[in-house]
């Protein structure tokens, strides 16, 4: 059996074992993601995307995440990003915090690739988070650092892995960490599908999540060569 079909079977089998569980930590949840990058000039591109996070693979939605932003591409394979995100969060399945809230989030990000020995990428992000509870509002700030790698297996398959550290500017300094590993399949030169696993440590909980993502690129540049 080829590697990609075998990986799908493992994910589906693991998912089927999780339906009898009943808590965030003992259930294999899922993150479904669509991420788009739209080139409008040599230096500038737009990013758009959405995420759907569930406590169970096909049930118990706990988060809807929409985002859009502007990327400025530098010559050294690096990029600056300014973005806005809107989150609709339902915590009724969890015992942490209030049952429901909305979040408006702004962030500034720097991303760079390095290919000295291994294909390594680094991402540093500053976030301003505005929480809107039913009877109150709260603003928090944090920094995130992610280190990752993408290894090309052949023209169709690749492996991506990363670990991300979170640093709060208030409350507990470090209360969140994300490790993920995915197998990716290129369905065209500008689109791919990734299936994988995410370990999410947050608020003293250790969550196991299945990842399913669709990433694509579009090119809106004119045929004329830019000066």
Residue 226 lies in a domain: no
Residue in the block written with tokens 């990428």: 121
Residue 7 is given by DSSP the state H
Question: What pLDDT, on the 0 to 100 scale, is given for residue 2?
Answer: 53
Question: What pLDDT, on the 0 to 100 scale, is given for residue 203?
Answer: 85
Residue 201 lies in a domain: yes
Residue 224 lies in a domain: no
Q: Is 193 in contact with 214 (CB distance < 8 Å)? A: yes
Q: List the domain range (segments joined by +) for residue 65.
A: 3-218
> With a cut of 70, which residues of the chain have pLDDT below it?
1-22, 91-99, 223-227
Q: Is 29 in contact with 56 (CB distance < 8 Å)? A: yes
Of 193, 180, 174, 146, give the one whose Cα is nearest residue 4. 193
b vs e for 105-144, b when ≥16 Cβ sit within 10 Å of the residue's Cβ? bebebebeeeeeeeeebebebebebebeeeeeeeeeebeb
User: Quick one: which H or E segment has residue 120?
Assistant: strand 120-132
Residue 223 lies in a domain: no
User: Quick one: which H or E segment has residue 182?
Assistant: strand 176-188
* 30 CB-contact burial (10 Å; exposed 0-12 / middle 13-18 / buried 19+): buried
Of 109, 102, 92, 111, give the one whose Cα is nearest residue 129. 102
Question: What pLDDT, on the 0 to 100 scale, is given for residue 224?
Answer: 46
Q: How many domains does the chain have?
A: 1
CATH number of the domain bearing residue 161: 2.40.160.40
- Helix or strand or coil: residue 64? strand
- Helix or strand or coil: residue 42? coil
DSSP 68-117: EEEEEE-TTSEEEEEEEEEEEEE-TTSSSS-SEEEEEEEEEEEEEEE-SS
Residue 207 lies in a domain: yes
Residue 71 lies in a domain: yes
List pLDDT tens digits, range 74-93: 988 899 999 999 999 886 65
Q: How far apart are CA 48 and CA 67, in angstroms?
A: 6
Q: Is 91 in contact with 99 (CB distance < 8 Å)? A: yes
Question: What pLDDT, on the 0 to 100 scale, is given for residue 227?
Answer: 41
Residue 227 lies in a domain: no
Residue 198 lies in a domain: yes
């Amino acid at each position: 059996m080829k590697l990609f079909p075998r990986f799908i079977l493992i994910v589906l089998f693991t998912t089927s074992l999780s339906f009898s569980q009943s808590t965030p930590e003992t259930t294999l949840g899922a993150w479904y993601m669509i991420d788009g990058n739209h080139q409008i000039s040599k230096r500038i591109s737009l990013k758009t995307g959405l995420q759907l996070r569930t406590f169970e693979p096909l049930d118990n939605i706990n988060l809807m995440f929409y985002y859009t932003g502007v990327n400025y591409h530098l010559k050294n394979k690096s990029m600056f990003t300014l973005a806005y995100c809107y989150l609709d969060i339902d915590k009724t399945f969890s015992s942490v915090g209030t049952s429901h809230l909305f979040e408006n989030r702004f962030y500034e990000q720097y991303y760079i690739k390095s290919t000295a020995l291994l294909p390594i990428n680094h991402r540093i992000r500053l976030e301003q988070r505005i929480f809107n509870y039913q009877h109150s509002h709260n603003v928090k700030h944090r920094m995130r650092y992610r280190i990752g790698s993408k290894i090309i297996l052949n023209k169709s398959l690749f492996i991506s892995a990363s670990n991300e550290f979170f640093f709060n500017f208030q409350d507990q300094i470090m209360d969140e960490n994300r490790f993920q590993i995915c197998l990716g399949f290129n369905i065209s030169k500008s689109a791919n599908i990734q299936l994988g696993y995410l370990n999410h440590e947050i608020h003293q909980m250790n969550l196991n999540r299945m990842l399913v993502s669709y990433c694509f690129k579009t090119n809106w540049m004119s045929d004329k060569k830019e000066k």
